[in-house]
Structure 1
């Protein structure tokens, strides 16, 4: 008969696969795995339990970077609605005025119904083949969307998942993961999602410790101006968001002796676009005069939907930052003129004797009518960052990573805009 494995929140299995993990491990990492001995009261003996856990918040982040966003769910719903209005009119003709179906069958109402019944199922009691609280809902005066969602539950009948019929839908239109992203909105960020695969393993359908390939997902390629940018972002991600590391890749500047600069980043980006690379690509420029100048040039070429061009975000501390120029020292806004990756290493590194390491103004960039600046003690602050990473591996102080956290969140949200 085989074994079912699925994602559980509370007492309900919201998304499942038979005889395989399928793509369920895409929201987990190897660090989420637990194998432990537990006492089973029903069997009156100890058993080995094998399971993964993650939080709702972490799962949301994973799904968002995979493209399973709330916006994608809305797009899926609208497509489904367009193709199923006639069916709905026939099915609910005796209960709902057909003239009001289009008005009542909206994404907002559907999402509200999905969240309502997801919350009920997570805390429901399964008894004699039914979920007690869910069954009681069937006798209520439900809205159109509530009836549609409820009719597909509890076991997602006939390829219909929380009211969305996937039988006729192409994968490019959407997937159950998009619906699952809406389901997650019913829960608190810290709520736990569990994937217990004990029976799957004992049935001989998988290894006790899944191989690395089981977790693989399509990676977003982050193109940077150089190896320093890639290293800082990579190290920060490992420390702050380890569950997100598997979703991103960088150019290996050192192993393959790849040159880096603002101009080279533009060349690499154009080459990737011309080659028709299907992976998502983020071209990340410094927030300085040279970077903004290149971004201005790129506005003249067609950019495919899988590509995002962005620069390092503005920083509050950079609004009033010490600089050195031909006229001497001054306090300037260096956002858009000299805000490079070094500005994201942390105030604890950039400050020396209570003062920020200054930026020195250099060349003038005609395209943006501004001077280009660079931090004076670049090699020293990078050396201090390396030591900071080692310290943080033992004891992470989140306040020291405020700027990196801001940058990472911008990267994670790149395709939500």
Structure 2
């Protein structure tokens, strides 16, 4: 017959799992919900002496607590109801196809009729679940024994329907549907008692819900997009557009933060604050913070780079470029133009948009050196405001042409290509 774990709501049991426990159910509980008791007086903290066959093990809370946990995960009542409607529609298609098969089988009709039951309407099923959750009535509550057995059959049919729906509706949506039929203070939990007896290997002294939840969270970054934090909206927008050209295969897998509609100010300092906020919030996605490769960017992120970062976080700067190793530079004290290495000095995004767009009136737009920053022992450099506007405008036009299939020389995309590659390789 086997041993089962199952969801308990009030006096009713749903969602049976044979010889194991469902991890999605277990992850809905905390270790503070754990209840372990024995009937023979054994020491419940000693795995060597504990007679696990005499254990009552489970995780229990209230319907309201479970409902709120599901809600903050996005499993709202409306979502669960939509999932139920879709699931029953799929179940009905399966039923109809098997019904046709049953008719063709002829003599096998009676056998198939016992295996396949037409799904109920969502409202009818929810009402039946609500009835099932109410305290079980004893045989004495019915006028006749026949009425009692009819009630028991209906109860068993409802439990069976919920079990069948696992093929068509997600586990947490099903839990939400069941819990929504129960009063707030109804006892709800995951009963693991049958898994602690003979012929099963569950160690009743070991935590279950906590480690299961940790595994669930650890698996999330493997499927979620890599988030990229930038200094501001312009960098985020232009790199998103550039990625569609240089790395179209990463669209949907790498997501630059969208500042649209926000009043977030763009700077390396603001980026550092945002990274610390992500870390403090325990954001589950892996994320990369990437700043300008200039004096201000290195100064602003210096402290952040010295601290121990979570395994899912990397802090980068735009990479050094050969073009910037010998670039026209103007010192504020002189009008003389000289060729200077501006990697780490003036490597803002504009410098990575391509030699073609940086060329204005036949020459490269020069970098102007400004304030000396003692922390990084170099001066901050940048294009003039007028040249920056022209470079950004030219890059926008280059993007439009590329999206129309009129891509320019690949060398003119090497800068943004190097940035995206750096992001891809950020975790080694």
TM (normalized to structure 2)? 0.46
Give 1 or 2: higher strand fraction: 1
Larger Cα-atom Rg: 2
